[in-house]
Amino acid sequence: MRLSFLEPLYKQPGPFASVYLDTSRDAAIEDPDAAVQLRWRHLRDALTSEGADGDSITAVAGTVGSDADVPGTHGQAVFTAHGHLALLDELPAPPARDTVHFGALPDTMPLIVQHAPGIPYLAVHVHYGGRHSTYATGTVRIEAEVGTWPLTKVTPGHRLDEEIPVGDWTSAAGEVGRELEGHARRIDIETVVVAGDVWARGILIRRLPAALRGRAITVEGVGESEPGRALLEQRLTSLFTGRMAAHDRALLDVFLAERARDGASAEGLAAAVSALQRGRVKTLFLNDHPESPLRLWVGPEPGQLALTEQELRSYGVRELSEERADTALARALVGTRAELVVVPEQELRLGEGVGVLLRYADPGSRE
């Protein structure tokens, strides 16, 4: 996963107020706006106790709950600094619990984890009214969406919606397939998920360009979704839960191969910090442990991180603070343009929850 979406945040100086809040507009909630504001009041008190300045708290207050147009269950991540909004991101799922943090670095790891696995896909639902229409008047309707899972749940991707006379469908399906291919190329999709009428979708799949046809799978069920939510959302949830993006899987395979031959890889927090200090990390692999007590010392620059205060001071850093390890690692990755792969622990348990694939092996010693 590339973390370029965080670059604007780290270009701003801290300290930062970081807020994760459940802002769901679920039908089961009688007054969602009032519920959001009640949760925010509790968080505001927590921010104050952490030493947040009044301007930063005011900036958060003016932002939380601003996603009233997003239906269903979801959340918000809000980051402010010096009284200004630094970053706002919609969360595909509510946070496990509402949290705040005020410190030198923004608490970005919960946001990063919600962006994973970041699977680029094309969803297509083919409706056919021919079962109760004449051949002359029936229509085939194609709904399609290109997106990245799971972000599409709260940030809809590019949509296509066309209706074609059923008598023209056999010949028109090829043209629709080429149009879908053009949209899919925008994000280099890895999976095409097709639902709907068996006859109509079968014709479309057979006429898809080869690049798409080889990635197509069919799922049963209807494709209708709530406005503002992902097309085929429930089917995509079942399909993608627990799955890694193909790009991340390929990086993990390289890491495992390098580890097997004592090559350009390392595990453990100390090894990761050492490699990040020297800009040698190509990809960092992380088991998500939000409860981890591990901490690092950091300075103003991304590469200024260390296990101890004394080590960081020995490099001439004077402005420093102690932060959560995953928070410090995230900033270092963004600053060095390295990638991050969130690895499910059942897939691979890493030493201290962290491993690195290096840009090059050290011929003299091993990390």
User: Which pLDDT does position 366 carry in this prediction?
Assistant: 46
Radius of gyration for the chain, computed over Cα atoms and rounded to the nearest angstrom: 24
Q: Domain of 135: which CATH number?
A: 3.30.420.40
- Asked if 276 and 198 sit in the same domain, the reply is no
- How far apart (Å, rounded) are the C-alpha atoms in residues 362 and 367? 8
Q: Domain of 302: which CATH number?
A: 3.30.1330.30
The answer to whether residue 53 sits within a structural domain is yes
- Asked if 28 and 16 sit in the same domain, the reply is yes
Q: Is a pLDDT exceeding 80 seen at residue 232?
A: yes
- How far apart (Å, rounded) are the C-alpha atoms in residues 225 and 234? 9
- Asked if 156 and 233 sit in the same domain, the reply is yes
Q: Is a pLDDT exceeding 70 seen at residue 223?
A: no
pLDDT: is 26 or 257 the higher one?
257
- Asked if 140 and 195 sit in the same domain, the reply is yes
The rounded Cα 352 to chain-centroid distance in angstroms is 23
The answer to whether residue 367 sits within a structural domain is no
Phi first, then psi: give them for residue 18, nearest 5 degrees.
-115, 125
pLDDT digits (tens, 9 = 90+) for 154-207: 988 889 999 999 989 999 999 999 999 999 988 889 999 999 999 999 999 999
Task: Count up the domains in the chain and report the number.
Answer: 3
- Asked if 299 and 353 sit in the same domain, the reply is yes
User: Which pLDDT does position 156 carry in this prediction?
Assistant: 85
User: Which pLDDT does position 227 carry in this prediction?
Assistant: 75
CB atoms within 10 A of CB 203: 20
Residues in a beta bridge with 165 = 139
The answer to whether residue 337 sits within a structural domain is yes
pLDDT digits (tens, 9 = 90+) for 299-308: 999 999 999 9
Last residue of a domain, one of 58, 91, 115: 115
CB distance 116 to 107 below 8 Å: no
Listed in sequence order, the residues at least 6 apart from 274 whose beta carbon sits closer than 8 Å to its beta carbon are 367
- Asked if 131 and 231 sit in the same domain, the reply is yes
User: Which pLDDT does position 364 carry in this prediction?
Assistant: 54
Last residue of a domain, one of 218, 240, 262: 240
> Model pTM?
0.88
The answer to whether residue 364 sits within a structural domain is no
- Asked if 80 and 13 sit in the same domain, the reply is yes
Phi first, then psi: give them for residue 279, nearest 5 degrees.
65, 30
The answer to whether residue 363 sits within a structural domain is no
- 130 pLDDT band, cuts 50/70/90, is low
pLDDT digits (tens, 9 = 90+) for 313-335: 999 999 999 999 999 999 999 99
- Asked if 77 and 137 sit in the same domain, the reply is no
The answer to whether residue 324 sits within a structural domain is yes
What tokens does 291 get? 């409860």
Q: Is a pLDDT exceeding 90 seen at residue 129?
A: no
Range of the domain at 47: 4-115
- Asked if 261 and 285 sit in the same domain, the reply is yes
- How far apart (Å, rounded) are the C-alpha atoms in residues 337 and 41? 37
User: Which pLDDT does position 69 carry in this prediction?
Assistant: 86
The answer to whether residue 365 sits within a structural domain is no
pLDDT: is 343 or 31 the higher one?
343
The answer to whether residue 312 sits within a structural domain is yes
Q: Domain of 104: which CATH number?
A: 3.30.960
- Asked if 126 and 230 sit in the same domain, the reply is yes
- Asked if 280 and 321 sit in the same domain, the reply is yes
Q: Is a pLDDT exceeding 50 seen at residue 367?
A: no
Q: Is a pLDDT exceeding 50 seen at residue 152?
A: yes
Last residue of a domain, one of 240, 269, 289: 240
- Asked if 110 and 131 sit in the same domain, the reply is no
- How far apart (Å, rounded) are the C-alpha atoms in residues 161 and 354? 44
- 365 pLDDT band, cuts 50/70/90, is very low
- 92 pLDDT band, cuts 50/70/90, is very high
Q: Is a pLDDT exceeding 80 seen at residue 361?
A: no
